[in-house]
């Protein structure tokens, strides 16, 4: 009986010692390879030897060997502490399913272990088990009233699911728990910007910049906010601050170009829209903006070239750039080609009423048979009569003229 008691005492002591190694994440000083060789030479390695080897392998990124040694240790002495370390190695090795299985078992036995609950929540979230993650974060939120991270993570989950308003409430809850929680402040700034609550948007942007005046995220938000507030010079100043921090992308250059365009400094606008296009040649949006500047500056050939380049192979809503290209071709007297692009501009976005209207106008000029124009004007009035008074009155006037002419000529209208 004394022998058994002594044996259990040794095991318990070894487990506590191993836990110390695990918790402090100590690797023996000097060459870890030498220490591994030393441990491998042991004919009868102890529980603590396997734990130490596993810890070394985990820290140097050799996770499969870490897993092997943790398993060996567990065969000798089952321990929740080592189970958790094994789960960490599984997670690091990309075997999330195995890690989740272990964490779940540990959590069932001890739901007060909030570190395990936290790991489970993160793994559920990263493996697209969003509802499991949400429930676990909610559990953590109830157990730890001071941590803003749980409300923030719940907000992120709901935001991705399109539940914007509830996510905003959760970001606000995170902010109340910690008024310096930058991630929540950033989400709240975007949330109120989306709702077009200018005062709240500015409040949270400024809070973020007060915490970190060189935050790239908040500087971009500030520049964008100032642009929508029609403070174009100030917006440019924040864009320049981003430049001074060696941060430059297509969106920032496009914003800068838009500011110059609003101030009617088209030469500068052209420069920055041009930079945006060079940085992101696949974006038709930047190309369209650059083409618009060329068109305003009477550089029609350049505008046409940029538009054709942006439209090639694109798959998104191209209503606006196709409309502009149709307008250029129409002004060049190439009515047949213009019709093609007006038709495309309307069909790319069925709510793009200008494309349909210009399609009708150009069709009336190009085709001798007025059936096509007649039907297009009718469709325009059916769908968009209330959109633009001037265009609607013109369409009604042309319909009367066409119908009268066709009646006098004894023609019967056909649908297109």
- pLDDT for 194-240, tens place per residue? 999 999 999 999 999 999 999 999 999 999 999 999 999 999 999 99
Shared domain check, 307 and 388: no
**Structural domain contains residue 3:** no
Assess if residue 362 is contained within a domain. Answer: yes
Whether residue 413 is contained in a domain is answered as yes
| In a domain? residue 381 | yes
Tell the residue number behind the tokens 């068109």, with chain if given: 295
- 272 within domain boundaries: yes
Which positions ≥6 away from 246 have C-beta within 8 Å? none
Q: What is the mean pLDDT of the chain?
A: 88
> Domain tally for the chain?
2
**For residue 31, what pLDDT band results from cuts at 50, 70 and 90?**
confident
Per-residue pLDDT at 169:
97
Domain annotation covers residue 83? no
Does 244 share its domain with 287? yes
pLDDT at 289 over 90: yes
Note every long-range contact of 133-139, with CB atoms under 8 Å and residues 24 or more positions apart, other chains counting. 133/157, 134/158
Kindly state whether residues 312 and 363 are assigned to the same domain. Answer: no
Kindly state whether residue 415 falls inside one of the protein's structural domains.
yes
Over residues 82-125, the pLDDT tens digits come to: 999 999 999 999 999 999 999 999 999 999 999 999 999 999 99
Please indicate, yes or no, if residue 39 is contained in any of the structural domains. Answer: no
Judge contact between 149 and 179, C-beta under 8 A. Answer: no
Global pTM value: 0.70
Closest CA to 342 of 354, 333, 334: 354
How far apart are alpha carbons 299 and 319 in whole angstroms?
21
pLDDT of residue 11: 39
Q: Domain containing 272: what range?
A: 213-316
Exposure pattern of 134-150 as b/e (b: 16+ CB <10 Å)?
bebbbbbbeeeeebbbb
Residue 26's pLDDT is what?
47
**Among candidate residues 301, 316, 331, the one where a domain is terminated:** 316
């Amino acid at each position: 009986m004394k022998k058994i008691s002594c044996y259990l005492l040794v095991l318990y002591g070894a487990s506590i010692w191993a836990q110390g190694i695990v918790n402090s994440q100590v690797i023996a000083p000097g060459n870890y390879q030498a220490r591994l060789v030393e441990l491998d030479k042991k004919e009868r390695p102890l529980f603590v030897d396997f734990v130490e080897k596993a810890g070394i392998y985990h820290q140097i990124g050799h996770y499969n060997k870490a897993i092997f040694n943790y398993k060996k240790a567990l065969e000798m002495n089952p321990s929740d502490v080592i189970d958790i370390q094994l789960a960490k190695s599984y997670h690091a090795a990309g075997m999330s399913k195995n890690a989740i299985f272990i964490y779940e078992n540990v959590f069932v036995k001890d739901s007060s272990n909030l570190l395990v609950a936290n790991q489970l929540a993160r793994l559920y979230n990263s493996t697209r088990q969003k509802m499991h993650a949400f429930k676990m974060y909610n559990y953590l939120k109830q157990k730890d009233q001071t941590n803003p991270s749980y409300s923030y993570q719940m907000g992120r989950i709901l935001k991705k699911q399109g539940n914007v308003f509830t996510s905003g409430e959760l970001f606000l809850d995170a902010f109340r728990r910690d008024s310096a929680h930058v991630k929540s402040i950033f989400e709240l700034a975007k949330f109120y910007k989306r709702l077009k609550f200018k005062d709240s948007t500015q409040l949270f942007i400024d809070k973020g910049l007060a915490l970190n005046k060189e935050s790239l995220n908040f500087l971009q938000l500030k520049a964008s906010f100032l642009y929508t507030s029609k403070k174009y010079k100030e917006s440019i100043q924040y864009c320049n601050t981003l430049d001074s921090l060696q941060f430059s992308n297509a969106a920032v250059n496009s914003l800068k170009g838009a500011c110059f365009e609003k101030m009617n400094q088209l030469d500068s606008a052209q420069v920055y829209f041009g930079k945006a296009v060079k940085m992101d040649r696949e974006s038709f949006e930047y190309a369209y903006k650059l083409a618009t500047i060329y068109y305003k500056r009477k550089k029609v050939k350049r505008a046409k070239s940029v538009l054709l380049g942006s439209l090639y192979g694109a798959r998104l809503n191209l209503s606006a750039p196709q409309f502009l290209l149709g307008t250029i071709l129409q002004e060049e007297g190439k009515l047949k080609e213009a019709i093609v692009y007006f038709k495309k501009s309307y069909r790319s976005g069925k709510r793009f009423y200008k494309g349909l209207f210009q399609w009708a106008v150009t069709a009336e000029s190009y085709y001798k048979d007025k059936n096509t124009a007649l039907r297009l004007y009718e469709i325009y009035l059916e769908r968009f009569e209330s959109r633009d008074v001037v265009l609607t009155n013109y369409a009604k006037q042309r319909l009367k003229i066409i119908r009268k002419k066709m009646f006098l000529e004894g023609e019967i209208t056909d649908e297109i």
